[in-house]
């Protein structure tokens, strides 16, 4: 007989216990070493401040979440077409790939003050920073995925987009003889 699957409580309990041990260690360390609150607050004071300023935290978190989602969407909208160009047009790859690698190596933290001066403290600077963080990984990962895709799959996709999928295509005929519709 097979053993039943382990109860999910155990998988959840260990991380919870780990967090509680870490918090207890943090609290004990702050009290035992008399660490000044300006250096490190105790977890109890952090929780009390979270409760006291909960509304402010939620509204600030909402702004950050919107900027993150908009920045990621913008990175996808601009990054995927650029990755398509990088993988299909040789001169675009040779022209912009070194530039992208160079720009990706710039620490994003170093750009934050510049963005704040240029764009202010509103949504524009937050959106620009979120876009910068997401744009290069989207371009690089999409380009890598496209370059590793088998040529047959790319050809099938090209034929599907041009409307030739209903014509006499040998690859499609092979899929139909296997009993599947391609």
- pTM equals 0.64
Q: What is the mean pLDDT of residues 86-97?
A: 87
Question: Alpha-carbon Rg of the chain, whole angstroms?
Answer: 26
Flag whether pLDDT at 65 surpasses 90: yes
For the stretch 96-154, pLDDT in tens is: 888 888 888 888 888 889 999 999 998 999 999 999 999 988 998 888 888 888 888 87
- Residue 148's alpha-carbon distances to 92, 100, 111, 141, 159, in angstroms, are 19, 20, 32, 11, 19
Sequence ranges of the domains in the chain: 1-52
Q: Which pLDDT does position 6 carry in this prediction?
A: 59
Measured distance CA(137)–CA(76) in Å, rounded:
10
Q: What is the band of 175 on the pLDDT scale with cuts at 50, 70, 90?
A: very low
């Amino acid at each position: 007989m097979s053993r039943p699957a382990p109860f999910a409580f155990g998988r959840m309990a260990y991380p919870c216990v780990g967090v509680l041990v870490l918090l207890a260690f943090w609290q004990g360390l702050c009290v035992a070493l008399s660490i000044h609150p300006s250096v490190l607050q105790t977890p109890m004071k952090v929780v009390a401040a979270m409760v006291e300023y909960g509304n402010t935290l939620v509204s600030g978190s909402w702004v950050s979440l919107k900027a993150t989602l908009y920045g990621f969407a913008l990175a996808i909208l601009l990054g995927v077409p650029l990755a398509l160009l990088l993988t299909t047009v040789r001169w675009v790859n040779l022209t912009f790939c070194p530039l992208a690698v160079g720009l990706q190596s710039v620490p994003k933290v170093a750009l934050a003050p510049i963005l704040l001066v240029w764009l202010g403290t509103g949504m524009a600077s937050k959106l620009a920073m979120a876009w910068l963080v997401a744009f290069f990984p989207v371009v690089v990962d999409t380009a890598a995925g496209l370059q590793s895709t088998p040529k047959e799959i790319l050809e099938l996709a090209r034929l599907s987009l041009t409307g030739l999928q209903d014509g006499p295509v040998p690859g499609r005929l092979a899929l139909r003889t296997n009993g599947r519709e391609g």
